[in-house]
Structure 1
Amino acid sequence: MNISIEMLSLDDLTDLYLFEQKNRAYFEQMVPSRGEEYYLPEIFNSRNKTLLEEQARGESYFYLIKQDNAIIGRINLVDIDKKQKRGELGYRIGEVNTGKGIASMALQMLLQTISWEEINQVDAKTTTNNIPSQKVLEKNGFQKISSHKEFYYMNGEKIEFISYRKEVEK
């Protein structure tokens, strides 16, 4: 499968909005909703323009996962702390493209783009019900570091968070 990761740009916002709308129900099966307001076009655009400003300052990096120029997922490194040399990983793959190894490939690509001199620790958090995400992280060298006491209920199931970490060896 031929995929690429490309930094989010202003030109991508319309296609990104359509991707998020199309996959909303699927994403909300695994993670808490971003809320009704997020899906209002003017709010969506405003929030993403703010993210682009954050990206321009080097505080976060937002990538689109593409296949044949179409958005099939997102992968981000956010909340970059340059003093601590760490960042938080997040990703989501559209429903029709799950189970194809795309998240693992995109994560591998992202890890290759990181300047490990600037960032030497990447943290990630997933949920107990998201086994595929746990496998993606472990396949890419992330170590489980803790389970959280925080939880929420989704579809009658108690969901907890699990933290993972990948550190560069020096």
Structure 2
Amino acid sequence: MPELQRLRPDHAPALLAFERENRAYFAATIPDRGDDYFAHFDARHAALLAAQEAGLDHFHVLVDGDGAVLGRVNLVEVRDGSAELGYRIAEKASGRGLATAAVLRTCALAATTYGLTALRAVTTLDNAGSRAVLDRTGFIPGDGILLDGRPGMRYARDLTELRDDLRRSAA
């Protein structure tokens, strides 16, 4: 079973390979990162790690037994007890429940380790897989929005009940 790991400097080569291999797949349902992302990947990776170290964001990769990245789950714009959730799973790993499991694990981390009380997420309406993951992991749909010119939806998840349940089960 793949392992969710907090982003580290040594993940950079596998993460870049993941992003390159899945670029067209991701661009079919979410805005493309653009050529600049790949051209300056090392600097961007260092900036992500610095933001994580400062507690502004929390980045995770889903890694298989060989060290290949199968997905990523990020919590960005951490403030006032909340953050925005974003995730992507490799095409070769889709349809196996990995996104759902990784999002659930990240929600637990957000509620316990990171002390967050709420998460937000957005997705395009044509991204049925992402909408299903959000529905299965306790996110509630909200307002409609435009994402890169495409119809989308905001979602929210209250983490206080999850945090309380996790505390009770640990006691």
TM-score w.r.t. the length of structure 1 is 0.88
Runs of 4+ in structure 1 over 2 Å off: 115-118, 150-153
Asked if 1:65 is matched to 2:56, the reply is no
Asked if 1:47 is matched to 2:38, the reply is no
Residue of structure 2 in register with 1:77 after alignment: 75
Quick check: 2:75–2:86 contact (8 Å CA) kept in 1? yes
How far does residue 103 in structure 1 lie from its aligned partner after superposition? Answer: 0.1
How far does residue 152 in structure 1 lie from its aligned partner after superposition? Answer: 4.4
CA distance in 1, matches of 2:147, 2:75: 23
Residue of structure 2 in register with 1:38 after alignment: 37
Residue of structure 1 in register with 2:154 after alignment: 163
CA distance in 1, matches of 2:125, 2:97: 20
SS of 1:87's equivalent in the other structure is strand
CA distance in 2, matches of 1:168, 1:62: 18
Specify whether residues 151 and 64 from structure 1 end up closer, same or farther in structure 2 by C-alpha distance, changes over 3 A only. Answer: closer
Question: What percent of counterpart residues are identical?
Answer: 30
Quick check: 2:81–2:118 contact (8 Å CA) kept in 1? yes
CA distance in 1, matches of 2:128, 2:42: 31
- RMSD value, Cα: 1.4
Specify whether residues 151 and 87 from structure 1 end up closer, same or farther in structure 2 by C-alpha distance, changes over 3 A only. Answer: closer
CA distance in 1, matches of 2:158, 2:30: 25
Amino acid at match of 2:121: A
Residue of structure 2 in register with 1:156 after alignment: none
CA distance in 2, matches of 1:103, 1:160: 22
Q: How many residues align?
A: 159
Quick check: 2:118–2:160 contact (8 Å CA) kept in 1? no
How far does residue 39 in structure 1 lie from its aligned partner after superposition? Answer: 1.4
Residue of structure 2 in register with 1:16 after alignment: 15
SS of 1:114's equivalent in the other structure is helix
CA distance in 2, matches of 1:52, 1:12: 11
Unaligned runs of 5+ in 1: 154-158
- Greater fraction helix: 2
Asked if 1:87 is matched to 2:83, the reply is yes
Q: Deviations over 1:131-164 (max 9, x none)?
A: 110010110100001111x3545xxxxx212110
Unaligned runs of 5+ in 2: 162-171
Quick check: 2:124–2:147 contact (8 Å CA) kept in 1? no
CA distance in 1, matches of 2:111, 2:68: 27
